[in-house]
Chains A and B, each alone.
Chain A
Amino acid sequence: MVTVESTGLFRLVFEAADNWGLAQWYDLVNDPSAQTNLTGPATA
């Protein structure tokens, strides 16, 4: 996994397991402990 974070604003995580997709997005403004992945896990 590769994480890109703007402190206090957002965290993005790219995951090799997902073919290097942008698999995690956290809104650190309202979710500072990054509890809610707003773009996953997306299962059918």
Chain B
Amino acid sequence: MKVQDAVCQEREFSEILQLLKEIEPASIGKITSVLARDGSLGDHGAVQLCGPAKHNF
């Protein structure tokens, strides 16, 4: 990765971290509900999958 990209990512990370710190406690639950359904929080979210590959193509 280029140094420039790493600096951009570091800046984005800091900005998002700051944003998270500023979210009102009353909003946190709503925001995590949305992101959990998306699968953004490390779990799969509300998805449907299909496999294996020989079944798919």
Same complex: no
- A residues touching B (Cβ–Cβ < 8 Å)? none
- B residues touching A (Cβ–Cβ < 8 Å)? none
